[in-house]
Amino acid sequence: MAEKKGKKKDPKEWRIDIDAERCKGCGFCVEFCPQNTLAMSDDFNAKGYHPPMVANPESCTYCDLCEMICPEFAIWLSSDENKKDVHIADDLVRLDRMPHIWCPGCGIGTVVNCFVKALHDAEIDLDKTQIVSGIGCTGRVAGYMDLDSYHTTHGRAIPFATGLALGAPDQKVVVISGDGDLTAIGGNHFFHAARRNTDMTVICVNNFTYGMTGGQVTPTAPIGSIAITTPYGAFDRPFNIPFIADSCGANYVARWTTFHVRHLQNAIKAALQTKGFSLVEVISPCPTLYGRRNKIGDGLDMMKFYKEKSVRFKKDQHTTADADIGFQNEIMVGNFVKRERPSLLEAMNSSLKNKLGDKYVQWPVPG
């Protein structure tokens, strides 16, 4: 499934800038450049990685795909005339904490790019945006975001976010965490937040493993996949996250991979604009543990796998029950669910108003 090419920008106005020292040599930008503009340099940066270079500037359409897909925030489009001279994520990422802890080829930085772009495109008030993460590799996102952010305890990102959403309903509450944090120790909270239609957006980065703690099996690991705790292959049926969210009543449900940056960006934007519980699952590479143990390869190999194995959800042919992911099988991607039903607060206020009439006084929004 090919990504759509961006509109061609005037090359007299735009250029490609590269911060070689941020780069960890994943090669995403080179491999997926639709115009073959980039190449890997023979030189090494201070960390021992080969950064990209602009090998064929005349071919570039300045589509910004390289900027969106780079997980290290190391390459971007610049334009003096258009007053852009930094990476799209630079205004919302704490650069003083770079380089981040994520491994070369990890897709979490790509998810951050898509999230930041979606925030800007949706014109969300950043002063009223709250980011909540749990524990794990993806759980570190909150610490890197230059927004009001909360790095909570293991599995408790959603109940913490629920408190924010109920106590300050004028805020945009976003949970960004991993499949283990959200569907294992945090699974109960995930089910009930979707059931109650709590007003929050959940971005679940699913890499099928506990990356930070050594690569144990997770509730999403496909049957047959190898983990340190299942050396002969996982044998219990994994969660189908979109199906669970849909079954519980979420207002918006989507799944994309880190290869599909345009679709992912748009899905997050739609989720942010949805009232009630919205979920975006992102299939993302963990090359260090999941990819290596399951002989898929490095991060770039896993991204190629997503490109080749992704199939599009079609509403007239599929339901979310068809979105199971088998071991090294096809991955169904798409925007699965868009419905309208009252959020938790709306349902509570409506019910109490109906029962109590004028005696019921809605709690005012703080501030």
| Greater pLDDT, 9 or 27 | 27
| Per-residue model confidence (pLDDT) at position 8 | 56
- Please give the Cα distance from 165 to 132 (Å, whole number): 11
Residue pair 203/196 in contact by the 8 Å Cβ criterion:
no
110-345 belongs to which CATH class? alpha beta
User: What pLDDT, on the 0 to 100 scale, is given for residue 3?
Assistant: 47
For the segment 139-143, the average pLDDT, to the nearest whole number, is 95
293-340, pLDDT tens digit by residue?
A: 999 999 999 999 999 999 999 999 999 999 999 999 999 999 999 999
CA distance 198 to 289: 34
pTM of the full structure: 0.94
Among residues 29, 175, 36, which one has the least CA distance to residue 110? Answer: 29
Domain with CATH 3.30.70.20 in the chain: 15-87
Q: Percent of the chain at pLDDT above 90?
A: 89
Beta strand residue intervals within 97-233, DSSP E: 129-133, 148-151, 172-178, 200-206
Class of 15-87 in CATH: alpha beta
Between the alpha carbon of residue 25 and those of residues 18, 220, 283, the distances in Å are 12, 28, 21
Mean pLDDT for 41-57 is 94
Mean of per-residue pLDDT scores for the chain: 93
Q: E-assigned strands of the chain? A: 15-18, 38-40, 52-54, 75-78, 129-133, 148-151, 172-178, 200-206, 252-257, 277-283, 310-312, 331-338
Is 207 a residue whose pLDDT tops 60? yes
- CATH 3.40.50.970 domain residues, the chain: 110-345
- 323 against 9, higher pLDDT: 323
pLDDT at 5: 47
pLDDT, tens digit, 9 for 90 and up, residues 17-48? 999 999 999 999 999 999 999 999 999 999 99
pLDDT tens, position by position, 213-242: 999 999 999 999 999 999 999 999 999 999
Range with the poorest average pLDDT among 85-99, 140-154, 247-261, 313-327 = 85-99
Q: In what order do the strands lie in the sheet with 277-283?
A: 148-151, 129-133, 172-178, 200-206, 277-283, 252-257, 331-338, 310-312
Q: How far apart, in whole angstroms, are the C-alpha atoms of residue 109 and residue 2?
A: 21
What crossing angle do the helices spanning 157-167 and 344-356 adopt, rounded to 10°?
Answer: 50
- pLDDT score of 6: 47
Tell me what pLDDT residue 1 has: 45
Q: CA gyration radius for the chain?
A: 21
pLDDT value for 333: 98
> What is the C-alpha to C-alpha distance for residues 262 and 258, in angstroms, rounded to an integer?
10
Amino acid at residue number 175: V
Q: What is the mean pLDDT of residues 137-149?
A: 95
**At 5, which amino acid appears?**
K
Sign of the torsion formed by the C-alpha atoms of 308, 314, 317 and 318: positive
pLDDT at 366: 67
259 pLDDT tier (thresholds 50, 70, 90): very high
Burial class from Cβ neighbours inside 10 Å (0-12, 13-18, 19+) for residue 224 reads middle
Three-class DSSP category at 38: strand
Share of the chain above pLDDT 70, in %: 96
